[in-house]
Amino acid sequence: MSESFDLILRGGRVATPSGMVEADVGVRHGRIAAIGHLTGAAAESIELAGLAVLPGVIDTQVHLREPGLEHKEDLATGTAAAALGGVTAVCEMPNTKPSTTTAAALADKLARAKGRAWVDHAFFIGAAAENVGELRRLERLPGCCGVKLFMGSSTGSLLVADEPTLAAVLSQGSRRMAVHAEDEARLQERKGLVEGGASPAMHPEWRDVATAVMATTRLLRLARPAGRRVHVLHVTTGEEMALLAEHKDIASVEVTPQHLTLAGPECYERLGTYAQMNPPIRDEAQRQALWRAVEQGVVDVIGSDHAPHGRDEKAKPYPQSPSGMTGVQTLVPIMLDHVAAGRLSLERFIDLTSAGPARIYGMARKGRIAVGYDADFTVVDLKAQRRITNLWIASKCGWTPFDGMKVTGWPIATIIRGHVVMREDSLLGEPAGHPLRFLETLAG
């Protein structure tokens, strides 16, 4: 096949919809133009023999920006971390300061991302009592990936805890809604368990299994009569997985690499408050239950819940210490290590990190290597053995709970719409991320 291309990726093993094949990939005008043995000319050609060319990894749960606080993560550092980790697109959560609950706040984030974001991006609108009547309009704005609902208090101020407001939020709109499902009343009732100098190991006792199950049960009970599709974020219990499996017509499911990799009490003994996140890291039995849900197809998406906090904040005594940890940069190597260990097939990894996110949120031209799709690629060396270190982390906080962990599998290049933005652990060029587009909101 002799054609002219802007870029040809040569000699890699390419993850096509038909399976892994040795092939070249030709890119023209930012999209995939041909797959096969390509003999045509190209402005740029990259030899990838021995490497796997995967669809661009999409992280649909990151927390990036709090303007005015220089030590906090922002769009530039957070998306740089994404690109260095092999992630080509991110969806940002609304509970930063100021919260993204209005059209003006969304427009501000999109404007600030222009020329600063290394990867493609979109932003959630946060549901709140004061904007319920606007949600149907807000969820259809350009650059919006949908509505995010906090049923239980976490880091940030967004919260919809009472049932009438929750029902109203579910009725206002049609796009899939992302939900943090913890029962606020139970959290408040049990807060005394961790007051007065408790250990971080008490975090999963305070925010216990019942706290998660009660919220997920209520969510499904109200979502069905509203006809609303929901995406339950960072599910941590086997009990929820069993419940969600009965509601797959309206409910999709996310798990995080942290909950699949870490387990209490060991992680709290070793990491202290650096292992603190919401919902919490639970015990080994629950970790294994999550893996069974992955194996059985209940889980649709892997998201990092990237929510970094500085060491000064994390050093505060529990429970004054904030919940959250870095994750966007380590998502690919951590999950590839699970592939190398035989816990996950490469095909399932692709489904959870590329095809799944694009399918769940209806992303236009994302999630697969096929002619006509955006030329987004996560190029990986499946055999490379590296060690994750704090020094590698681009986030402002400069730490990861996986510091010192040896992994098999590493991102070698990040390519977004035909532009190589990362190669061999170095960022290239200038930030040129674009807003994501969604099938349910395409104009005309």
Judged by DSSP in three states, 3 sits in: coil
* Candidate list 305, 351, 376, 381, residue with the active-site label: 305
Closest Cα partner for 401 from 341, 351, 334, 335? 334
Q: Which amino acid is at 149?
A: L
Element (H, E) at 226: helix 209-226
Strands (E), 173-240: 177-180, 230-232
Q: Are 329 and 400 in contact (CB under 8 A)?
A: yes
N-terminal to C-terminal alpha carbon distance within the chain: 35
* Annotated catalytic residue 24: no
Q: How far apart are CA 110 and CA 104, in angstroms?
A: 10
**Where do we find the tokens 């991102």?**
411
Q: Which amino acid is at 234?
A: H
Name, in order, each residue with C-beta under 8 angstroms of 288's C-beta and a sequence gap of 6 or more: none
Residue 75 CB-half CA count within 13 A: 27
Judged by DSSP in three states, 7 sits in: strand
**Where do we find the tokens 């094949």?**
21
Closest Cα partner for 221 from 230, 234, 208? 230
Q: Write out the two tokens for 218.
A: 């209520």
**Where do we find the tokens 């740089």?**
80
Name, in order, each residue with C-beta under 8 angstroms of 117's C-beta and a sequence gap of 6 or more: 75, 76, 79, 431, 433
Q: How far apart are CA 404 and CA 5, in angstroms?
A: 41
**Where do we find the tokens 């291309």?**
5
Q: Are 24 and 2 in contact (CB under 8 A)?
A: no
Helix axes 238-245, 284-295, angle to 10 degrees: 30
Name, in order, each residue with C-beta under 8 angstroms of 271's C-beta and a sequence gap of 6 or more: 401
Which residues are marked as active site? 305
